[in-house]
Amino acid sequence: MFEYRLQEIRRADLIKAAEAHRLAREARRARRAERPATTEGEGPVTGPEERFVQVA
């Protein structure tokens, strides 16, 4: 009987974890859907002068 009770507790924990995972995935999808879509699907590109530091 003790093992059965442990099994029930474990099952309930797994169900809670799965629900939290689904909720987090849903939130990510909602945030992604709110972002403005760019025409090329990429962000702004920086020029080479902005990437390198002038030495001496």
pLDDT at residue 36, rounded to an integer: 72
Nearest C-alpha neighbor of 32 from the set 45, 41, 44: 41
pLDDT at residue 6, rounded to an integer: 96
Query: pLDDT below 70 — which residues of the chain?
Result: 37-54, 56
Residues in the chain: 56
pTM: 0.54
pLDDT at residue 17, rounded to an integer: 97
Give whole-number Cα distances, 29 to 7, 20, 36, in Å. 33, 14, 13
